[in-house]
Amino acid sequence: MARHRNVRGYNYDDDFDDDDMYSHSVEDDYGISPATAAQFIYSKRGRHQSFSEPLEEEEDEDDDKSRAPSTALSPIDQARLFSCLDQMREVLGESVSEQIMTDAVLQCGFDAAKALDQIFKQESNTKKSGTQEATASERKGKARDVPSADTHIVPKIAKLTVSGNKQTMGFAVPSASTEVNGQNSITACTKGQTTDDAMEEADNSALSPASSNTSQVSEDLNSTPSQGKSSGKSKQKINIKEELEKRQGGKQLLNLVVIGHVDAGKSTLMGHLLYLLGHVNKRTMHKYEQESKKAGKASFAYAWVLDETGEERQRGVTMDVGMTKFETKRKVITLMDAPGHRDFIPNMITGAAQADVAILVVDASRGEFEAGFEAGGQTREHALLVRSLGVTQLAVVVNKMDQVNWQEERFREVTSKLGHFLKQAGFKDSDVSYIPTSGLSGENLAKKSEVNELKSWYKGPCLIDQIDLFKAPQRSIDKPFRLCASDVFKDQGSGFCVTGKIEAGYVQTGDRLQVMPPNETCSVKGITLHDEAVDWATAGDHVSLTLTGVDIIKINVGCVFCSLSEPIRACTRFRARVLLFNFDIPVTQGFPVIIHYQTISEPATIRKLISVLHKSTGEVVKKKPKCLTKGMNAIIELQTQRPVALELYKDFKELGRFMLRYSGSSIAAGVVTEIKE
Ligand code: GDP
């Protein structure tokens, strides 16, 4: 997007110039191809219409319903009715549903004037009685006579981009999760082949996280509880835990990323799910159907729900991660999508780094699953990538089951192959679920399938229920504030905006923050969460902060905003424990890499090879090795060209985890163990 400043100015093209590197399998080099990018584009950012008017669909239905009584009338009465309706419509416009008008006309013996009087009376009574739902729907003028049973299932949704542009419609549940007793999926992230052994040690030590860091904040937390109706000037401290409970209304926030091989059906699946949930009205869906038919791609209609902005994407630039919100029974889901740009991998890493859970879509069709899973496919690569970035819970969608006649046998074949691999990749069996679906026909997405062939053997939850079953991670709300900027832009008014996910702590309007690098301070003038101005936001929230007191020119994507009292450290030299992926070139001292960390990609060199570690015990096997080869666990020292703000993995898991890439291939996952200078 044009406004986006990729201030670090790293030319990702350099990273992707070598075409050869994409031809290898994950077994060979863990490379991720541009094709991956192409297929991961299951969502786009400019879907202005797609989710904007969920009530319109009902409008259509209601229109139909409202005409029902009229069909029971004699032709003459029908004509009288329509004439009255026309007269009334001139007065009322679209503000009252046709059903209400029809009822009034019938009750008033086809007298339009009387019917109007009756409606006005009803309306004022309704207002007096303060029935909020009624007034709201009348005022909107679109939700004509929406039956209450329907209204409650219309999910609230927001489409937000990290630019903070207002594109929201009706999203009213800003929430972050603090499932206090829930399992911390991020903290429990380190088992398995990818990052398991490498991180196990750090994981253990993380059980006693930066206790010194937390003390100040917990003091704050307990100090002055108040409703926090703050302006930038008169700031009152809030009791964040209490406020959060109130705000969430019982719903947990979950950040979800969808991954999988090209053509597995990701876009169709998620597009259809959103449609079934009511986020896309019938008219828009009809438009997609027509357009996709015209384009000779009728089967892509649902995919177009999410793939609407190809053009915009081509023009757009880099780091933005588009987000779509939808709700399940107990959760508010942020569905993350990465823009389909050549620098997609950094974007995917950014997206996955912010994800709590993932949906892995595989194609059940014969030959197709194998193509995605075997050499050259992205199924393994994506799964490894998200696992290495801390995602522990996975819903595997075995899609296109219609293509294999809903055969249980095929489902079992696919899941057993995948299960074996996912276990090796570090996913616990209990954190992986498998759901047979058809994204195209919509089976098993928003409700359990009615297809007999499937019903006969599959008794598990449908996709939306499975999403609901994900455990929300415990957010680090009682740690010092940390937010890594994913976008920096000038908005109207004074100051400027940064967007990003709050990784730890909380922020209130009026707070002063430190930015690392460049080690400047600034004030928070405003906070926008889900396109609504709020007084505070906390860990897990994707927010936009309006800042003053610092020059925008000094602020880059990747800068970490943190608490003044306990700032993050910026360094150019740090030590890390890394696990090397299957990568054929031996890694030696002086090896050039790109560090992908949160929202940044920074050139670096491997300054020292400190030691090789035993995979499971973590004991030093060899000191000062000459080179590292695939599968090894090692401690290395990295030197970046410019300062980066990092945390020790044991203190802040989210901010202590990174990926190393070389020449377009992911070569290692690492965790920060020591910050040098
Ligand atoms: P993506 O690249 O993973 O996002 O895949 P798409 O959603 O673009 O789908 C690729 C193709 O597979 C399209 O032609 C879809 O219509 C088709 N497709 C997706 N889901 C299903 C399904 O459940 N059954 C069948 N038969 N085709 C599907």
Instruction: Tell me, letter by letter, the H, E, C secondary structure of 530-568.
Output: CCEEECEEECCCEEEEEEECCCHHHCCCCCEEEECCCCC
Instruction: Out of 547, 563, 579, pick the residue that ends a domain.
Output: 563
Distance CA 110, CA 256 (A): 54
pLDDT for the residue 308: 52
Separation of alpha carbons 558 and 15, rounded Å: 18
pLDDT in tens, 40-99: 222 333 333 333 333 333 333 344 444 444 457 777 787 788 878 877 776 676 667 888
As given in the structure block, the two tokens for residue 306 are: 């999410």
With respect to residue 576, please indicate whether it lies within any of the assigned structural domains. yes
Quick one: which atom of ligand 1 is closest to the CA of 403? 26
Contact between 313 and 44 (Cβ < 8 Å) = yes
The pLDDT, as a whole number, for residue 137 is 38
Long-range contacts of 295-303 (CB under 8 A, 24+ apart): 299/268, 299/440, 300/267, 300/268, 302/267, 302/268, 302/269, 302/271, 302/272, 302/275, 302/439, 302/440, 303/42, 303/267, 303/268, 303/271
Same domain, residue pair 634 and 541: no
209 in a structural domain? no
Residue 160 lies inside a defined structural domain of this protein: no
| Index of the ligand 1 atom closest to the CA of residue 443 | 23
Q: Phi and psi of 597, rounded to 5°? A: -135, 120
The CA distances from residue 1 to 36, 133, 309, 313, 657, in Å, are: 21, 38, 12, 8, 27
Instruction: Determine the distance separating the centroid of ligand 1 and the alpha carbon of 276, expressed in angstroms.
Output: 16
Same domain, 195 and 107: yes
CATH number at residue 113: 1.10.8.10
Same domain flag for 458 and 363? yes
Using only C-alpha atoms, the chain has a radius of gyration, in whole angstroms, of 27
| Domain assignment of residue 640, yes or no | yes
The CATH number of residue 318's host domain is: 3.40.50.300
| Same domain? 329 vs 460 | yes
Ligand 1, residue 361: give the atom nearest the CA: 3
Shared domain for 18 and 105, answered yes or no, is yes
509 and 641 fall within a common domain:
no
338 and 355: one domain? yes
Using 50 as the pLDDT threshold, list the residues of the chain that sit under it: 1-70, 130-233, 310-321, 339-343
Span 355-369, pLDDT tens digits = 889 999 999 999 889
Place of tokens 């009152």: 236
**Same-domain check for residues 507 and 641:** no
Give the closest residue (by CA) to ligand 1 atom 22: 400
526-556 in b/e form (b: 16+ CB < 10 A) is: bbbbbbeebbbbbbbbbbbbbbeebebeebb
Report the residue among 261, 266, 268, 438 best suited for mutation to probe ligand 1: largest number of ligand atoms under 8 A from its CB: 268
Q: What is the pLDDT of residues 201-225, one digit of tens each?
A: 333 333 233 333 333 333 333 333 3
pLDDT for 337: 59
Q: Determine, yes or no, domain membership for 172.
A: no
457 C-alpha to ligand 1 centroid (Å): 24
Q: Are residues 389 and 510 in the same domain?
A: no
Distance of CA 270 to the CA centre of its chain: 12
Query: What separation in Å is there between the alpha carbon of 262 and the centre of ligand 1?
Result: 9
Q: Which residues have any ligand 1 atom within 6 Å of their CB?
A: 39, 42, 260, 262-268, 299-300, 303, 399-400, 402-403, 438-440
For the chain, what is the domain count?
Answer: 4
Instruction: Assess whether 368 and 517 both reside in one domain.
Output: no
Ligand 1 atom closest to Cα of 39? 2
What gap in Å lies between CA 172 and CA 156, rounded to an integer? 7
198 and 313 assigned to the same domain? no
Q: Domain range holding 56? A: 2-146+191-203
In a domain, 180, yes or no: no
Question: Does residue 441 share a domain with residue 317?
Answer: yes
497: domain CATH number is: 2.40.30.10
